[in-house]
Amino acid sequence: MVMESMRRALLGGLVGLGMLAGGAAAQAQPVERVNLQLKWVTQAQFAGYYVAQARGFYRAANLDVRIAPGGPDIAPPQVIAGNRADVIVEWMPAALASRERGVPLVNIAQPFRRSGMMLTCRAETGIRTPADLRGKTLGVWFSGNEYPFLAWMSRLGYPTNGTPQGVRVLRQGFNVDPLLQRQADCVSTMTYNEYWQVIDGGFRPEQLQVFRYEEQGVATLEDGLYVLENRLTDAAFVARMARFVRASMQGWDWARQNPDAAAQIVLDNDASGAQTVAHQRRMMGEIARLLDTEGGGRLVPADYERTVQTLLSSGGESPVISRAPTNAWTHAVMDAIR
């Protein structure tokens, strides 16, 4: 009797454990994949996403995030339009221009609150104010990055066709060679990247005149997260993006507080081997100044409106956008974060 009672108790315990295990498995969420397309190559500009991956924030959110670096021949809007990404990192001018041209991108989060874009000029050219840009040769990035520049020139009333009344535009590669080789009077730079390439190229800060787009009143939002509009009708996708954004912002917060470690994580993911510790640490320090540290990545409508009005004011022969967009951003994903 005693042995039989023990046997029954043991069987009952095993059954109970089996039921608990089965219940836990039923409640566990399956790991879901997210394909993220970056705007540019692996660097500290995207540290938050690499940190979220390396520190396990995505894994804790039941996400398998595949991060695809960008490059000069990769346009994130085209990638997502071809269903090769679930979410992309893009500048708002390029995103809104793509939306007007048929790729219905929607901003779901805005980790960067401030713009890092600048025009960096050789002081020896005599350029001191925007009025001195007239007649000068300016290096400009294209592939969607030219839109803030065009808006600024339109506001100044400077044609970009090379006439004496305007400026000469040099199609700049994604480097600062035109300035270093004195082929251009000014080139496009970012506070966290190309400006320091100019410094490393032999220029001292006092030999440069810098115009920050923020200070010229034509700053537009950069490095937002965008998805295709039709996918937002799927509640499961919205929930997945909410987990992705939350984990990504955890990554950004950690990177901001641990810039040196974040820079090393970026280097660990740099398959090209082109990046250096010193440059990535410097970049991470500058990136931290641009982040939204209070709103958790929630787009501020006033910032969106400022960007739209800047783009609409560009005018000229090639306007960035011809009309104010509708439904180009949503708080639905942010509201779903728990």
159 and 55 within one domain: no
Beta carbons within 10 angstroms of residue 23's beta carbon: 10
17 part of a folded domain: no
Q: Residue 7: what pLDDT?
A: 41
Predicted local confidence at residue 70, as pLDDT: 95
Mean pLDDT, residues 26-43 taken together: 88
Whether residue 46 lies inside any domain: the answer is yes
In a domain, 317, yes or no: yes
Residue 18 lies in a domain: no
Strand partners, 227: 106
- Clarify whether residues 160 and 147 are in a common domain: yes
Q: Encode pLDDT of 203-216 as tens digits.
A: 999 999 999 999 99
Domain that holds residue 39: 32-113+221-335
**Does any domain span residue 26?**
no
Give domain status of residue 24, yes or no.
no
Residue 250: which H helix or E strand, with range?
helix 235-257
Tell me whether strands 32-37 and 186-190 are parallel, antiparallel or unpaired. unpaired
CATH number of the CATH domain containing 175: 3.40.190.10
Q: What pairs with residue 120 in β-bridges?
A: 187, 210
Question: What is the distance, to the nearest Å, from the Cα of residue 170 to the centroid of all Cα atoms in its chain?
Answer: 25
Which amino acid, residue 67? I
pLDDT band for position 318 (cuts 50, 70, 90) = low
Strands 32-37 and 224-228, how do they pair? unpaired
Residues 77 and 154 in one domain: no
Residues 326 and 246 in one domain: yes
Report the DSSP pairing between strands 208-212 and 63-68: unpaired
Residue-by-residue DSSP string for 124-186: GGT--SGGGGTT-EEEE--TT-SHHHHHHHHHHT--SSS-TTS-EEEE--SSSHHHHTTS-SE
Statement to judge: residues 159 and 68 lie in one domain: no
> Are 228 and 328 within one domain?
yes
Which uninterrupted H or E stretch holds 312? Answer: helix 301-312
Dump pLDDT digits (tens) for 94-136: 999 999 999 999 999 999 999 999 999 999 999 999 999 999 9
Last residue of a domain, one of 168, 195, 212: 212
* Predicted pLDDT of residue 199: 96
- How confident is residue 57, by pLDDT bands cut at 50, 70 and 90? very high
Could you say which of 160, 184, 212 is where a domain stops?
Answer: 212
> Do 325 and 291 fall within a single domain?
yes
**200: part of which helix (H) or strand (E)?**
helix 194-200
Residue type, 206: E
Do 103 and 249 have their domain in common? Answer: yes
- 149, 152, 153, 157 alpha-carbon torsion, rounded to 10°: 170
Q: Go through 254-281 and write b for each residue having 16 or more CB atoms within 10 A of its CB, e for each that does not.
A: bbbebbebbbebbbebbeeeebeeebbb
108 and 231 together in one domain: yes
Q: Are residues 103 and 125 in the same domain?
A: no
At residue 8, the pLDDT reads 45
Neighbour tally for 232: CB within 10 Å: 18
CA 257 vs CA 47, 172, 276, 287, 331: distances in Å:
12, 34, 20, 12, 26
Q: How far is residue 161's CA from residue 112's CA, in Å, rounded to a whole number?
A: 32
Looking at residue 12, its pLDDT comes to 47
Averaged pLDDT of the chain:
90
Q: Give the pLDDT mean for 219-237.
A: 97
- Do 45 and 185 fall into the same domain? no
Number of domains the chain is built from:
2
* 15, part of any domain: no
Instruction: In whole angstroms, give the CA distance from residue 179 to residue 185.
Output: 6
Residue ending a domain, among 212, 240, 273, is: 212
pLDDT at 154: 87
Asked if the structure places residue 20 within a domain, the reply is no
102 and 226 belong to one structural domain: yes
